[in-house]
């Protein structure tokens, strides 16, 4: 509770500094605002140069300044270009700290805490062995065994009605992983991987991203963003990714309800695609989709927080089709790019000249050899 109170206090302090600026903006002309911005920019440039040259020490930030960035950055598309003191990853870290506190409060349990898993398993074990016993009978039998913390009969009844029996953990038979990877390796050019992951915006809105990747070339074939990943949306995305029947022979996916639904499986069969479902809690069976999601998080989302769905779609499009597929090398394909790069003549390092094309506001630069 103390963290929440401190967080609210920081928000109110940041708003006290922020709101007057937005209010006075309505009473100034564009010329006045531009002049004020130029004067502030000149002071910031002088201060930044002194910090970088070592004349001044880099100032320490505080929670209020962090909150100022979290509150104002969504409304400033050039926030990172104006940022002279903090790295992109640092600002994203501040946002994630705020989201953790928000999510902790949102997911806080209200009401009675659930009984331990071991107790649930014991109740289901008794129920399976004696299906004719009522919840009251189960309660009385446990009390008769001198067990001190027996749940009430109503609690036992609720768990028997709403909770399925716990499933035992499945272990893969010996050698199955080796055979599975041999299958993926032998059908690289005919297998796609598909998976979904979530992204949180500046305003704590959850977006869902769909990724389809070719195992053979490591090329991201298709991506899509939505707030409601339903079955019809998924089927439409698959149709857009496979125009004129140009699709894989196998599609690897997990056991998400929309992936294993009857309608989507029928669409795959009608398209001549064989579905390969991964095992429960086995993300290693969909390695390339999991790997590209990790790359997107580490190389894009750890440095940039999307403002909304359109902003995320624009960032992903620029990152995937303007950098990941065309310029990012992969060790698994002999350190080449998914989309073949131009063939340059060999030159020594001393005689090589490069030009740099910025993407994502200068976060990365594509390399081009001009000599």
Output the 3-class SS for the chain.
Answer: CHHHHHHHHHHHHHHHHHHHHHHHHCCCCHHHHHHHHHHHHHHHHHHHHHHHHCCCCCCCCCHHHHHHHHHHHHHCCCHHHHCCCCCHHHHHHHHHHHHHHHHHHHCCCCCCCCCCHHHHHHHHHHHHHCCCCCHHHHHHHHHHCCCCCCCCHHHHHHHHHHCCCCCCCCCCCCCHHHHHHHHHHHCHHHEEEEEEEEEECCCCCEEEEEEEEECCCCCEEEEEEECCCCHHHHHHHHHHHCHHHCCCCEEEECCCHHHHCHHHHHHHHHCCCEEEECCCCCHHHCHHHHHHHHHHHHHHHCCCCCCCHHHHHHHHHHHHHHHHCCCCCEHHHCCECCCCCCCCCCCCHHHCCEEEEEEHHHCEEEEEECC
Across the chain, mean pLDDT equals: 83
Give tens-digit pLDDT for 1-26.
666 677 677 667 766 666 776 677 77
Domains detected in the chain: 2-106 (no CATH), 117-162 (1.10.10.10), 176-333 (3.30.420.10)
- Cα within 13 Å of Cα(364), Cβ side: 17
Pick 182 or 234 by higher pLDDT: 234
Mean of pLDDT values over 162-168: 60
pLDDT at residue number 12: 72
How far apart, in whole angstroms, are the C-alpha atoms of residue 62 and residue 64? Answer: 6
230 pLDDT higher than 90: yes
Mean of pLDDT values over 139-167: 82
Q: Whose structure tokens read 């065994």?
A: 145
Give tens-digit pLDDT for 317-341.
999 999 999 988 888 888 899 998 8
Range with the lowest mean pLDDT among 84-88, 280-284, 333-337? 84-88
Pick 2 or 239 by higher pLDDT: 239
* Per-residue confidence band for 127, with pLDDT thresholds at 50, 70 and 90: confident
pLDDT at residue number 164: 62
């Amino acid at each position: 509770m103390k963290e929440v109170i401190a967080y609210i206090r920081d928000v109110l302090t940041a708003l006290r500094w922020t709101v007057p600026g937005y209010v006075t903006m309505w009473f100034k002309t564009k010329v006045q605002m531009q002049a004020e911005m130029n004067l502030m920019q000149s002071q910031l440039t002088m201060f930044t140069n002194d910090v970088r040259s070592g004349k001044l020490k880099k100032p320490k930030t505080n929670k209020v300044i962090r909150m100022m960035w979290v509150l104002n950055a969504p409304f400033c598309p050039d926030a990172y270009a104006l940022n002279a003191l903090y790295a992109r990853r640092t600002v994203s870290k501040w946002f994630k700290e705020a989201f953790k506190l928000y999510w902790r409060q949102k997911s806080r349990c209200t009401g009675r805490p659930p009984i331990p898993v071991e107790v649930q398993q014991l109740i289901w074990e008794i129920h399976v062995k004696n299906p004719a016993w009522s919840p009251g009978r189960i309660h009385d039998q446990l009390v008769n065994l001198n067990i001190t913390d027996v749940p009430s009969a109503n609690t036992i009844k609720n768990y028997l009605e709403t909770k399925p029996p716990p499933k035992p953990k499945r272990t893969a038979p010996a050698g199955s992983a080796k055979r599975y990877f041999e299958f993926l390796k032998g059908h690289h050019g005919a297998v796609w991987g598909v998976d979904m992951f979530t992204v949180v915006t500046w305003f704590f809105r959850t977006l869902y991203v769909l990724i389809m990747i070719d195992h053979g070339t490591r090329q991201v074939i298709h991506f899509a963003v939505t707030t409601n990943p339903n079955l019809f949306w998924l089927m439409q995305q698959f149709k857009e990714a496979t125009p004129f029947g140009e699709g894989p022979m196998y599609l690897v996916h997990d056991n998400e309800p929309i992936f294993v639904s009857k309608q989507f499986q029928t669409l795959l069969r009608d398209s001549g695609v064989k579905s390969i479902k991964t095992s429960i809690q086995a993300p290693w069976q969909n390695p390339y989709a999991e790997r590209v999601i990790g790359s997107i998080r580490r190389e894009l989302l750890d440095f940039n927080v999307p403002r909304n769905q359109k902003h995320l779609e624009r960032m992903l499009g620029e990152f995937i089709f303007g950098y990941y597929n065309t310029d990012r090398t992969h060790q698994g394909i002999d350190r080449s790019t998914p989309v073949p790069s131009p063939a340059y003549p060999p030159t020594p390092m001393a005689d090589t000249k490069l030009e740099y094309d910025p993407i994502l506001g200068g976060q990365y630069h594509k390399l081009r050899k001009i000599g």
